[in-house]
A and B are shown apart, each in its own frame.
Chain A
Amino acid sequence: MLSFEGVYRKRGGTLLSGLFGSDPFDFWVGRFYVGLFGAISLGATFLGIAVIAFAISRIGDGDLARVTITAPLREYGLGFAGFDQGGAWQTIVILATVAFAAWALREVEICRKLEMGYHVPIMFSFAISAWLVLQVIRPLLMGCWCEGFDLGFTGHLTWVSNTGFRYQNFYLNPFHAFGVLGFFLTAMVLGMHGSAILGTYNTDPDPVKETSNVDNFWRDYIGYSIGELGIHVLGFWLAIYTLIMSDLCILTSGTVVKDWVDFWHFSIPWFH
C-alpha cells in the first residue's frame, strides 16, 4: 500500500452494488482492484491463454516467435471453422474482445471509485476500436473471417506486409499517411513534454517560478507555450486522432478502395 492509499480504498460505487446493494467482487488482491469486470476479464484471459496453448500444442512448433495461429481459410467465409482450420483463431478473438471490453469497464469502475474523469477508459475504447476494426468489422464487411490478421509474433508482421502490398502501394493511402503523421507527432510532442518536465523539476524552491520558466522558454524558443494543462489536451487528442486515422486506414482498404495507386487517378473537371 502507498502511504496515502488507505484514504482512497473504499467499497461501493460499482455496478453490482448499485443494482443489488452489495458486490461480492468489490475487493483488492494485493495492488490490483478486482471487481466484477476484473473477474470477467481475468476469466476470458486465462481461457484465451489456455486455447492458445492448446492450439500451439496442436501445431507442434515450440518456437514462440515463429508459431502462428492463422485465421480461417477463405472457404469458411463468415461461418465457423474447425479448431485446427481457424476455430482456434475465432475462439481467441472472441475471448480477447470480451477481455478488452471487460477491462475497459473495470477502468470505469476504478474511475468511479477514485471520483475522477472517464478519460482513460474512453481512450482505451479507441484502442479497442483498432482491434475491432481489424479482427471483426473489416472481416464482416469483406465477408470472410480470413481477412483478420494471424495471431503470432512474426505471423502478424507477415499479414501486415501482405496487406500492404495487396492494395498496391499502401503508402499512397491518405489515411495511412495521416496516421503515420499522428504517430510521429505523438513521439515528437512526447519528447518535448518529457524534456520540459525532466529539465525543470526541482530547479527552484518556488514551483510557480519553475512553471513560468517552462512557459517562458517555449515562448522564447517557438513563440508559444501551450500551458501545463494544454499540453495534456494536445497529447490526448493527438492519440485519439492517430487511432481514428488508423481505423479509417484499414477500414477503407479492400472495402471501398481496391488499389491505392489507382485511387489517385481521378480528374477534376475544372482543373485541367
Chain B
Amino acid sequence: MPTVIARPGLPPFETPEPSPLDGGLGWRIGTPFHVPFLARFGVSTQLGTIWLGFWGVLSVIFFFAGLAIETAGGIYQMQGNVLMMVKYFANVQVLPPEGLGMPHSLQDGGFWIGTLTCWALSVICWAARCYERLLRFQWRPYLFFAYMSAILLTSTIWVFRPLVMGSWAEAPGLGLNSDLDWAQNFSVLWGNLYYDPWHMLAIFFLFGSTMLWGMHGATILATAAEGSHKEVAEIKDMHSGSHKSMLFWRWTMGFNANPKTIHDWLWWFSVGTVLSSSIGIITTGTVTHDWYVWGVDHGWVQQYGPITRDAINGRPEPPPIRSKPEQANNNFLTGGPTVGAPAPAQGQQ
C-alpha cells in the first residue's frame, strides 16, 4: 500500500522554443546538463538553461556592488584587518546613520546607505526580470504580485518605517547578529510585540504556511502514484489521485479544496504573511507606542504586576534603538574582552 513512485530514466532535455516574445534585451545561455543524483530525491535532474536578460544582469551587478560596499564597511570596522572581519563575521555590522539627512562620512552611515541603495535597485531590477519573463511565458502575474508583497515588507522595514520615525537608525543594521539584535530590540521597545494583533495575524499566516505545505506536500506525495502531482493537468481533468486527495480531507475534517483552489489557499497564506507583517511593522512605534498597554486597554491582556497603566503611559519615550558609536561603547571589540591587542592598563589613559 505505501506509495512507490516510479523513477524513470533521465528524461530528455527541455528548452523553450524560440519566441518573438523573447525580445532583444537578452539571450538564453548555457547547455542543459543532468545531475542524476537529484533523481534519488524525486526532483528534476536538469540544470540550465538560464535567461541572461538586461534586468537580471543589472540586478546581479547591483547586488554585488552592494555586497562590496557592505564588505568595505565591515573591513573598515575591523580597522582594515580582513582576517579579523572573517573571524568575527557574525558580529560585524554596518550601521545606519542617525536622522534622515545625508551621512557625514562613510563610517557614519554612508556604507549602510550605499549598500541599501544598491540592494533596493537590485530587488527592483529582479522584479522587472520577473515581470518580463512572466510576459514571455504568458503567465498570469501571480508570481510578480507575490514578489512585490515581499518587497513591500522589506521596504517597510528598511525605508517606510524609518521615514515615518524620522531616522534611518530605526532600520536594522547589516550583519548576521545585527538583524537578530534589531528583532530583539524591536520586540521589546514597544511594549510586547506578541500583543500586536498584526504580529499575531502574521504568525498565524507564517505557521499556517508551514502547515499548508505539510498538508499539501504530504497529500500530493501520498497520491503521486496515481498522478495527483500533475496539477495543471488535473485541474483540466481530474483522476483518481486528485479524487483521493480531496476525499481524504473531506472525510478527515469535513472540508476539501480541489487541485485549483488549494493553490488559492497557498498563495494567500504566503502573501498574507508579508502583508500583515508590513502592517504590524509600520504601526509599531508610530501609531502605537506600547502593545502591552494597547492589549490591556482593549481587554485582551491580563494586567500583570504592580505596574499601572497610567505609569506606563506616562513613562518617557524609549531611547533610540542605537546611539552613535562614539557615544555608546557598543563596539564589541572594545566593550567585550579584548582580543588581539592587550587591554590598556588602568590609570595610563
- Which residues of A line the B interface, CB within 8 A? 2, 4-5, 7-8, 28, 30-33, 63, 65-66, 68, 106-107, 110-120, 122-124, 126-127, 153-155, 157-158, 160-161, 165, 169-172, 177, 182-184, 186-203, 207-208, 210-217, 219-230, 232-240, 242-243, 271-272
A-B pair number, CB within 8 angstroms: 314
Are B300 and A65 closer than 8 Å at their CB atoms? yes
Are B50 and A8 closer than 8 Å at their CB atoms? no
Contact of A227 (CB < 8 Å), options: B43, B188, B215, B269: B43
Are A219 and B146 closer than 8 Å at their CB atoms? no
Are A236 and B254 closer than 8 Å at their CB atoms? no
Given contacts A66-B299, A110-B248, A213-B137, 19 further A-B contacts (CB under 8 A): A2-B250, A8-B247, A31-B255, A119-B222, A122-B218, A154-B302, A157-B192, A158-B302, A191-B146, A193-B263, A194-B142, A198-B140, A199-B140, A203-B140, A210-B232, A217-B133, A217-B139, A220-B137, A238-B210
Are B214 and A221 closer than 8 Å at their CB atoms? no
Are A220 and B44 closer than 8 Å at their CB atoms? no
Interface of chain B: mostly helix, strand, loop or mixed: helix
**8 contacting pairs across A/B (C-beta < 8 A):** A2-B243, A5-B247, A114-B248, A116-B248, A194-B264, A213-B138, A233-B43, A238-B217
Are B217 and A236 closer than 8 Å at their CB atoms? yes
Contact of B221 (CB < 8 Å), options: A117, A182, A186: A117
Complex-state Cα separation, A169 to B250, whole angstroms? 43
Are B210 and A183 closer than 8 Å at their CB atoms? yes
| Interface residue ranges of B130-184 to A (CB < 8 Å) | 130, 133-134, 136-143, 146, 149-150, 177, 180-181, 183-184
- Residue among A200, A215, A232 with the most chain B CB within 10 A? A232
Are B143 and A8 closer than 8 Å at their CB atoms? no
Contact of B180 (CB < 8 Å), options: A172, A225, A230: A172
Are B51 and A28 closer than 8 Å at their CB atoms? no
Tell which of B63-71, B106-114, B223-231 binds the partner: B223-231
With A117-B2, A183-B207, A228-B231: A223-B50 Cβ-Cβ less than 8 Å? yes
Contact residues in A for B267 (Cβ distance below 8 Å) = 190-191, 194-195, 198
- Residue among B16, B49, B142, B251 with the most chain A CB within 10 A? B251
Minimum CB–CB distance for B249 against chain A, Å = 9
Are B212 and A232 closer than 8 Å at their CB atoms? no
Are A155 and B302 closer than 8 Å at their CB atoms? yes
Complex-state Cα separation, A119 to B138, whole angstroms? 34
Contact residues in A for B48 (Cβ distance below 8 Å) = 219, 223-224
Complex-state Cα separation, A238 to B236, whole angstroms? 29
Contact of B301 (CB < 8 Å), options: A116, A154, A192, A219: A154
Are B252 and A225 closer than 8 Å at their CB atoms? no
Contact residues in A for B211 (Cβ distance below 8 Å) = 127, 239
- Residue among A31, A106, A225 with the most chain B CB within 10 A? A31
Contact residues in A for B302 (Cβ distance below 8 Å) = 66, 68, 154-155, 158
Complex-state Cα separation, A210 to B28, whole angstroms? 20
Minimum CB–CB distance for B47 against chain A, Å = 6
Are A186 and B209 closer than 8 Å at their CB atoms? yes
Are A215 and B44 closer than 8 Å at their CB atoms? yes
Contact of A194 (CB < 8 Å), options: B207, B221, B250, B270: B270
Contact residues in B for A154 (Cβ distance below 8 Å) = 195, 295, 300-302
Contact of B194 (CB < 8 Å), options: A160, A188, A227: A160
A170's closest neighbor in chain B, by CB?
A: B184
Contact residues in A for B250 (Cβ distance below 8 Å) = 2, 5, 31
Complex-state Cα separation, A119 to B217, whole angstroms? 8
Are B142 and A119 closer than 8 Å at their CB atoms? no
A179's closest neighbor in chain B, by CB?
A: B210
Minimum CB–CB distance for A196 against chain B, Å = 7
Are B139 and A236 closer than 8 Å at their CB atoms? no
B241's closest neighbor in chain A, by CB?
A: A116
Q: Kindly state whether residue B10 has any CB partner on chain A within 8 Å.
A: no
Contact of A119 (CB < 8 Å), options: B44, B137, B221: B221
Q: Mark B20-32, 1 if CB is under 8 A from A, else 0.
A: 0000000010101
